[in-house]
Chain A
Amino acid sequence: MAPRIFPLVKVLTKVGVAGGAVYVAYDQGLLGSGEKGSEVLSKAKAAIPPAVDEWMKYFGWELPTPPKIEFSPCQAWNSGVQTTMSALSVAPSRAQEYTHRGWQYVKDLSK
């Protein structure tokens, strides 16, 4: 009796664990639309630091404070693109101006 039931219980347990994982993912909105996904990410970001602090207090450890990084990749990328585009837009007029100045200099030297 027991040797027959044990494989069945094992399979049912596995199906239960896997099905439960899929159900939890669906219930939390992880498999839904893009808006739900970004909401879940912002909730997780807000929930992680207090949870980490609680667990550290429970275990009696102290984590070193993470360094604050002032650098923002978005701002750096945008300012890089803007600088490049503005340099390209003034390049013809600047080239003309420098050519004119160079020509004047050569003319003055030849006088």
Chain B
Amino acid sequence: MSEGELGRKWDRCLADCAVKLGTGLGLGIVFSVVFFKRRTWPIVLGSGMGLGMAYSNCQQDFQVPYLLHGKCVKEQ
């Protein structure tokens, strides 16, 4: 992976992190207000889920050139 490509991947990763965190926070606020009587834990849960999704996407993005895919061939 070249340095430019690595830099672009990091930029994409950070942008995605910001978007997912904001989305999780927003959805957490909506659920907290609508269903859970303005408690804090749905907001924290939503933000955490957003961060987790962003981390998973970043991991996939960085590992994609090096992932090996194999097929299991059954004996006949």
Task: Name A's B-contacting residues (CB within 8 A).
Answer: 14, 17-18, 21-22, 25, 30-31, 33-35, 37-38, 40-42
Contact = CB atoms under 8 A, between A and B. Distances in A.
Interface residues of A, dominant DSSP: helix
The 3 residue pairs across chains A and B that have the minimum distance between CB atoms: A37-B16, A38-B15, A34-B16
Contact of B12 (A22, A31, A34): A34
Contact of A37 (B30, B35, B54, B60): B54
A35 B12 contact: yes
Given A34-B13, A37-B20, A18 B30 contact: yes
Interface string B42-75: 0000000000011001101100000000000000
B19 A30 contact: yes
24 contacts: A17-B30, A18-B30, A18-B31, A18-B34, A22-B27, A30-B19, A31-B20, A33-B16, A33-B57, A34-B12, A34-B15, A34-B54, A34-B57, A34-B60, A35-B12, A37-B12, A37-B15, A37-B19, A37-B54, A38-B11, A41-B15, A41-B16, A41-B19, A42-B15
Contacts of B61: 34
Nearest to A14: B34
Nearest to B31: A18
Nearest to A37: B16
B44 to A, nearest CB: 17
